[in-house]
Structure formats: structure tokens, C-alpha cells
Copies of this chain bind each other. A is one copy, B any other.
Amino acid sequence: MDQQDSYGLLLQHVARHIQLTTEEQQYFVSLLKSRRLQRRQWLLQAGDTCRYENFIVEGCLRSYITDRNDAEHVLHFAVEDWWITDLESLLTQTPSQVSIEALEPSLVLQLERDALQSLYQRVPAFERFFRILHQNAYLAQNRRILQNISHTAAERYDAFLRQYPTIAARVPQKYLASYLGMTPVFLSQLRQQKAGKLK
């Protein structure tokens, strides 16, 4: 995928929520940097301060934290047409607790913190755009919290399969287990049980 196609994808994504003039589009695009990542390469390393909002043009990434026992916990997955960042670090400009790693060779468009601030100034429609984006992110998080506090591991796995079948098929099972708050061993057992039931 070339640069123009990337911009096209992002502009289309933005156009779902706000309308921009040609000049506004050009200004927006002029703020973007693009970055390619190999599989297993970091987009953000814990300890570094997060500098970008990242829009994924192609590929698949995960964000995760490493706890004091060196165990990893997956916070989010992100694929084409989604955003990923450590918003906390980006907003406060403090070192990130979170790492972001490419699970596949990936291509992202990056919007630097200062660029984002200029964007809000020059094109206030982006306030609206990110309001809607964060609003939707908040809703998704709400649903996830609800799943977590009110459903068993088996139910959470089923719900994920229903809601994000492509992601479930795309990421290593151990990361999915981590995202869902269970061990890979237990997730494997759940799959085993389900397979048995179908016969």
C-alpha cells in the first residue's frame, strides 16, 4: 500500500464523522508521519513517553503492561482502520506504563501531540471527531467492564468470538486469554470443552 492509499483510508475514516474542505484535508495530511513496523517491533516501549496518536493502515498491534512479576497483560488489540496509543502518557507527557507491539508487519500514520493541538486550533471539527472517537471508545470499554464483572471466563470468550471473530482468528490465543483476563491454559480447556459439546 502506498502513501496516497494510506491517506485515502484515513480521510475516509475521518469523513464518517466530520466533513472537511480540501484545504483542511491537505492540512491534516501534512501533519502525518507514516511508519512501518516489523512483526514484534515496538511502536511504544514502556518507560518512553508516548508522542503519537497512531492510525493503523494495515497490520495488527497489541498494547500491554508488564507487571512487577514480569507477567504481561493485554489491554487492547488494534487492526486496520483503528487507532492505538497510550492516551494517559500522551496527554500527561509522562513515561508510559504501556508498551505497544506489532503482531504483524504493520503500517501506521502518526499524529504528534503538538500537531494534534494545532489541528484542534486550525480545524475545530476535529474536536468533534475526537469527541465521537473517545465517546465510542468509552462505550466499548464500558461493555468490556460489564463483561468482566458479570460473566464467567467461558462467557467472556464466547462474547469475544461473537463480537470480534476476525481478531480472535488473527492473534495468538495466549494474548486473547490475557485480554480476557484468564490464563492461556484455561482458555485452551474452554475450547476443548466447547469442541466436545459440538459432537
Given the complex of chains A and B, what is the CA–CA distance between A178 and B51 in angstroms?
Answer: 37
The quantity of this chain's copies bound in the complex is: 2
B146 touches A145 (CB 8 A): no
Contact of A145 among B71, B87, B134, B144 (CB under 8 A): B144
How far does the alpha carbon of A180 sit from the alpha carbon of B145 in the complex, in Å? 10
Q: Which residue of B lies closest to A130 (CB)?
A: B131
Which B residues are CB-close (under 8 A) to A149? 73-74, 148, 178-181
Contact B150 A148 (CB under 8 A): no
Expressed in whole angstroms, the Cα–Cα distance for A99 and B175 within the complex equals: 33
Chain B residues near A70 (CB-CB < 8 A): none
How many Å lie between the Cα of A137 and that of B179 in the bound state?
20
A138 within 8 A of B: yes
Q: State the majority secondary structure of interface residues on A.
A: helix
Specify which chain B residues have a CB less than 8 angstroms from the CB of A178 in the assembled complex. 149
A75 to B143, CA, bound (A): 10
CB-defined contacts of A135 to chain B, threshold 8 Å: 87, 91, 130, 134
Using Cβ atoms and an 8 Å threshold, which residues of chain B touch A139? 87-88, 91
Q: Is the CB of B134 within 8 A of A67?
A: no
Which listed residue (B75, B128, B145) contacts A120, Cβ 8 A?
B128
Interface residues of A in 9-31 (CB under 8 A from B): none
Q: A148-B149, A149-B180 are in contact. List 6 more A-B contacts (CB 8 A).
A: A74-B149, A75-B145, A87-B138, A87-B139, A124-B124, A127-B131
Instruction: Show 28 residue pairs from A and B whose CB-CB distance is below 8 angstroms, ordered by the A residue.
Output: A65-B146, A71-B150, A73-B149, A74-B149, A75-B142, A75-B146, A87-B138, A87-B142, A88-B139, A88-B142, A91-B135, A91-B139, A124-B124, A127-B127, A127-B131, A130-B131, A131-B131, A134-B134, A134-B137, A134-B138, A138-B138, A141-B141, A141-B142, A148-B148, A148-B149, A149-B178, A149-B179, A150-B181
